[in-house]
Amino acid sequence: MEESEDFTIRLTVWEHTFYVTVKRQEEEIYRNAAKALDMQYNKMTSQYPGQTPSTYMCMAALAVAVLWQKETSRNDTRPLVESMKRILTTLGADTQAQ
């Protein structure tokens, strides 16, 4: 009997439990993402008391999105590649001129 590549997992973020169909190799990613969002939610409730649950969830989602954006920009190799191309072009031009 073959295992399906997709299966359903149960995730809980704050007081919300829901089911998501994921690929088996991505299960841990989804579980870790739910934990990260839940941790951010709890952090916001302690830092900013008196807000509504939906405000806390938006604040937590924003915090996670900011972290994701920082990580994405940190892993952007395009500026490095472009810089290396300019250096190699300059070196090639200097070598040909001699």
Residue-level pLDDT at 94: 56
Per-chain mean pLDDT for the chain: 86
- The count of residues in the chain is 98
Tokens of 25: 């190799």
Tokens of 33: 């993402």
Q: Cα dist. 29→1, 22, 37, 43, 89 in Å?
A: 26, 10, 12, 21, 41
Quick: pLDDT tens for 48-66. Answer: 999 999 999 999 999 988 9
Higher pLDDT, 87 or 31: 31
Residue with tokens 């089911």: 19
What is the Cα–Cα distance from 8 to 42, expressed in whole angstroms? 26
